Structure 1
């Protein structure tokens, strides 16, 4: 895909959604960190249902430690892999208290050192909580980037590096949200809704649908 097409795609996505953000509900960087950790292999809707009950009770590292492991599990048991996620969140909370004065660090290295936090989670937190121009590539972004030919790669790391290279600076902070929402609601996995897609004429996917 050429530079001009990419620019037009980004402009259309921006015009349609000038202030995109995550669908995870949060009010502090810590709440976002917990929500993103819980969202692995789970839906944002499912995570929000759990955190709407959890956060009013415990939304700081100290309060979650106070809840205890079983207490935390009782709030998140509706989420897949909740046992291991609860253990990771608890360990991360203890590390935040001991090493970071209970604050979420604004450093990739420090974030990725937290239990349950990989590159994708760190990217989401840096981007959404702190406004860094990072691009977290999940299954939606991987699919959209490859299907449209916007930024092709054989794995998420390759797609991330390609996106960082080809997305102009003015779009970098928001492109993660635009692509994720596009993949979640329009460029869906089984049968993309090409007929209702605002970038259909620019997309280079060969097997377009009518819907």
Structure 2
């Protein structure tokens, strides 16, 4: 795909959603960190249902530690892989209290050192909590980028690197949200909804649906 097409796609996505936001509910960098950690292989809807009960009770690292591991598990048991996620969140809270004065660090290396936090989660936190021009690539973004030919890669890291290269600076902060929402609601996995897609004429996917 050429540069002109890419910019037109980005401009349409921006016009359609000028101020995109994550669908995870949060009110602080710590709440976002917890929500994103819990969202692995789970839906944002499911995570929000759990955190609506958890965060009013415990929304700081120390409050999670005071809640205890078993108490934390009780709040997130409706989420897949809740045992391992509870362990990760609890251990991350210990590190935040002991190493970072209970604050979420605005630093990739420090974030990725936290249990349960990989590159994608760190990218989401840096982008959404701190406004960094990072691009977190999940299955939706990987699919949209490859299917449309916007930024092709054999894996999520390759797609991320390609996106960082081809997306102009003015779009970088928001492109993660635009692409994930587009993949979640329009360019869906089994049968993309091409007929209702605002970038259908620019997309280079050959097997478009009606």
TM-score interval for Structure 1 and Structure 2 normalised by the shorter chain: over 0.9
In the alignment, the residues of structure 2 paired with residue 60 and residue 68 of structure 1 have an alpha-carbon distance, to the nearest angstrom, of: 13
User: Which residue number in structure 2 is paired with residue 56 of structure 1?
Assistant: 56
User: What RMSD over aligned residues (CA atoms) do the two structures have, in Å?
Assistant: 0.2
Name 1:82's counterpart in structure 2: 82
Distance 1:134 1:61 in 2: 25
| Cα distance in 2 between the residues matched to 1:41 and 1:154 | 20
Gaps of 5+ in 1: none
Deviations 1:101-158 (A, max 9, x none): 0000000000000000000000000000000000000000000000000000000000
Q: Which residue of 2 aligns with 1:24?
A: 24
3-state SS in 1 of match to 2:49: helix
In 1, the alpha carbon distance for the partners of 2:80 and 2:25 equals 18
Task: Give distance in 2, aligned partners of 1:118 and 1:168.
Answer: 25
Question: Take 1:192 and 1:36, find their aligned partners in 2: how far apart are those partners?
Answer: 26
CA distances 1:54-73 after superposition (whole Å, capped 9, x unpaired)? 00000000000000000000
> Could you give the per-residue CA deviations for residues 27-75 of structure 1, whole angstroms, max 9, x where no partner exists?
0000000000000000000000000000000000000000000000000
User: Is it true that 1:203 corresponds to 2:203 in the alignment?
Assistant: yes
Question: Deviation string for 1:158-199 (max 9, x for gaps)?
Answer: 000000000000000000000000000000000000000000
Work out whether 1:45 is the aligned partner of 2:36: no
Question: In structure 2, what is the Cα distance between the partners aligned to 1:175 and 1:50?
Answer: 27
Q: With structure 2 as the length reference, what TM-score do the two structures score? A: 1.00
Q: Secondary structure at the match of 2:131?
A: coil
